[in-house]
Structure 1
């Protein structure tokens, strides 16, 4: 039987859907749900989330 083998190390390929991120005044990055605008989580370090688009 044919099997689709795992690709790479199991990481996501491409951008995260329905998410965006913005930077707060303190320099931390906040992830936001684009469907309802609700803030989801804040990163403790001041680096942006990987694979999540930035708001303008």
Structure 2
């Protein structure tokens, strides 16, 4: 099946896209990124404490 989306009314296209999108995906991605930030911050803090930071 093939659709030409420019033939659809903008409101109908928006309705179809919103119906197809899993709205939980962005929230899960944000949570994953925050967990990665925390892990990197913890690693960085441990690295600095162990003397692995920038040298003077």
Q: Which has the higher strand share?
A: 1
Do the two structures share a fold, i.e. TM-score over 0.5?
no
TM-score normalised by the shorter chain: which range applies?
under 0.3
Which is greater in Rg? 2
Higher RCO (C-alpha under 8 Å, 6+ residues apart): 1
Q: Report the TM-score when normalising by structure 1.
A: 0.22
Q: TM-score, normalised by structure 2?
A: 0.22
